[in-house]
């Protein structure tokens, strides 16, 4: 970490500091949305529905592998930012080395457990006889490459945690660009199909991981990938896992929620599922923007929590205003042109009407979901492990009974509105916990005086 990054942590105006940390993250998450669309587009040019089905079916597996990377990365990253605030520079090397090697070991464990169970895993993903072979090919490659995929998501968090937000963004964009280029090569030149797409994903994560490792080894003042600094002390492991485990659980719950919601929508026909699928893709873009904002400011909040709580308070206040402004802008755009947005995906009038309705309803909670992401970020940054754990499960636990009751009372409309209700409950729980923890997060009296 150089003097410029330290300046953004300690002295830069709040708006500039938030922009420095959040904008690169917002751009990086936006690129990942664009990549997911292009990935399906390239495979779609082959005209093989079974391949596209395999790509969709393997999303939960990729989500689990990504969640394992975030388990180590978010846990280690927030700890690193707090250590920076305390100026415990030598401990940073121990934590970063622990994160690097534990990610690789975790990936090897996934591979060792997953490969012998490959057929049961493919069946559990819901593969049909037509898509079984393609799904198995994709899963095999992803399991073999899991150490590199987990490492990528870990290091992205680690690099960002020391204030190198631009470097973090470059690595994310590098991964996306390499992936897109390789997709085109393996599909159009080598004709490798689904195996090529899976290989491209693994290789692009490996390339970005090497980029991050080079930064940590040669550019960063405090981070390291040297094994001689590896240390798995009780302090390191407790600080990493009390934040990392809730992050992992939240990722698993989000994937499960999507599967459960589809189960309820099935009884209202293919158009209901298609309408939700289209609207959720459109909602993904602003959600990822807000998620990038909230995840981007986590290192700044974590640093300020140990170094200057008054600055942390101002950072949170500015971020809330930014969430509100973005939610209003996106909301106005959606309500003005929702029919046209759905029309980009279909020309079926009934599907456009249904998709537009779902879009209108789900967009109502955009500000609330943004605030909920900020609550989660605050709890992670300030090492409130119990609060982070509650936030990781509350939305999933709420959605299941709400879905059941709303479906019985109001059918399709109830299913759609249940998403908003679950978001509101999660928001209220987060707000209450933040209020309860307010004394821990308040600026010291000395800071207020000075």
What would the DSSP string read from start to end of 12-39?
A: S-HHHHHHHHHHHHHHHHHHHHHHHHHH
Selection from 57-61, 91-95, 398-402, 446-450 with the highest mean pLDDT: 91-95
Q: What is the pLDDT of residue 450?
A: 41
347 or 145, higher pLDDT:
145
| Stretch among 128-142, 253-267, 356-370, 381-395 having the lowest mean pLDDT | 253-267
- Under the banding of pLDDT at 50, 70 and 90, the label for residue 445 is very low
* 448 confidence band (pLDDT: 50, 70, 90): very low
What's residue 95's pLDDT? 96
pLDDT of 114 > 80? The answer is: yes
Contacts 24+ apart (CB under 8 A), 2-7: 2/221, 5/162, 5/163, 5/164, 6/163
Q: In which residue are the tokens 């495979």 written?
A: 43
- Give the position of tokens 């040669």: 218
At 39 the pLDDT is 74
Q: What is the DSSP letter of 443?
A: P
pLDDT at 42: 78
Q: Is residue 3 over pLDDT 90?
A: no
Higher pLDDT, 209 or 331: 209
pLDDT for position 171: 95
Assess whether pLDDT exceeds 60 at residue 449.
no
CA distances from 185 to 37, 40, 45, 191, 416 (A): 17, 15, 13, 8, 41
Position 447 pLDDT exceeds 80? no
Q: To the nearest whole percent, how much of the chain has pLDDT over 70?
A: 96
List pLDDT tens digits, range 71-102: 999 999 999 999 999 999 999 999 999 999 99
What is residue 2's predicted lDDT score, i.e. its pLDDT? Answer: 61
Residue 384 backbone phi and psi in degrees, to 5: -90, 80
- Is 410 a residue whose pLDDT tops 60? yes
Record the pTM: 0.84
Average pLDDT on 408-437 reads: 91
Q: In the predicted model, what is the mean pLDDT of residues 184-208? A: 93
DSSP 222: S
Residue 285 has pLDDT above 90, yes or no: no
Strand blocks (E) in 198-239: none
Checking if the pLDDT of 444 tops 60, the result is no
Mean pLDDT value across residues 276-283: 76
pLDDT at 374 over 50: yes
Residue range 26-52: mean pLDDT, rounded: 77
- In the predicted model, what is the mean pLDDT of residues 182-197? 91
Question: Average of pLDDT values for 368-394?
Answer: 90
Residue 440 has a pLDDT of 78
**340 vs 176, more confident:** 176
Task: Give residue 293's pLDDT band: very low, low, confident or very high (50, 70, 90).
Answer: very high
The arithmetic mean of pLDDT across residues 161-181, rounded, is: 92
Residues 6+ apart with CB under 8 A from 221: 1, 2
Higher-pLDDT residue of 233 and 57 is 233
Summary mean pLDDT of the chain: 88
Tokens of 91: 């401990």
């Amino acid at each position: 970490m150089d003097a410029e990054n330290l300046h953004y942590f300690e002295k830069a105006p709040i708006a500039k500091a938030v922009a420095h940390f959040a904008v690169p993250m917002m751009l990086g998450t936006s690129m990942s949305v664009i990549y997911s669309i292009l990935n399906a587009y390239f495979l779609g040019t082959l005209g093989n529905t079974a391949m596209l089905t395999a790509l969709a079916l393997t999303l939960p597996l990729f989500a689990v592998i990504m969640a394992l990377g975030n388990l180590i990365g978010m846990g280690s990253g927030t700890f690193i930012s707090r250590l920076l605030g305390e100026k415990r520079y030598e401990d940073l090397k121990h934590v970063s080395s622990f994160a690097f090697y534990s990610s690789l070991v975790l990936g090897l464990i996934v591979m060792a457990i997953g490969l012998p169970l490959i057929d049961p895993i493919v069946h559990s993903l819901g593969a049909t006889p037509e898509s079984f072979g393609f799904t198995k090919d994709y899963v095999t490659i992803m399991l073999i490459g899991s150490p590199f995929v987990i490492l990528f998501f870990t290091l992205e968090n680690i690099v960002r945690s020391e204030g190198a937000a631009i470097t973090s963004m470059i690595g994310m964009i590098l991964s996306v660009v390499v992936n897109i280029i390789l997709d085109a090569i393996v599909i159009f030149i080598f004709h490798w199909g689904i195996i090529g797409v899976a290989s491209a994903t693994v290789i692009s994560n490996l390339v970005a991981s090497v980029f991050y490792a080079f930064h940590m080894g040669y550019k960063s003042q405090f981070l390291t990938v040297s094994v001689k600094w590896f240390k798995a002390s009780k302090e390191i492991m407790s600080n990493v896992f009390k934040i990392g485990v809730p992050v992992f659980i939240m990722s698993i719950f989000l994937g499960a929620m999507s599967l459960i919601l589809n189960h309820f929508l099935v009884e209202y026909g293919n158009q209901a599922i298609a309408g939700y699928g289209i609207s959720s893709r459109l909602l993904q873009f602003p959600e990822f923007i807000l998620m990038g904002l909230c995840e981007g400011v986590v290192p700044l909040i974590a640093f300020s929590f140990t170094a200057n709580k008054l600055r942390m308070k101002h950072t949170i206040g500015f971020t809330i205003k930014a969430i509100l402004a973005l939610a209003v802008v996106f909301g106005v755009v959606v309500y003005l042109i929702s029919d046209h947005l759905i029309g980009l995906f279909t020309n079926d009038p009934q599907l456009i009407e249904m998709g537009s309705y779902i879009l209108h309803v789900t967009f109502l909670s955009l500000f609330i979901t943004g605030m909920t992401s900020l609550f989660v970020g605050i709890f992670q940054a300030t090492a409130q492990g119990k609060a982070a754990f509650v936030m990781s499960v509350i939305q999933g636990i709420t959605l299941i009974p709400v879905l059941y009751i709303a479906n019985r009372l109001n059918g399709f409309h109830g299913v759609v509105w249940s998403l908003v209700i679950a978001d509101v409950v999660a928001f209220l729980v987060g707000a209450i916990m933040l209020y309860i923890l307010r004394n821990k997060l308040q600026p010291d009296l000395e800071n207020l005086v000075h």
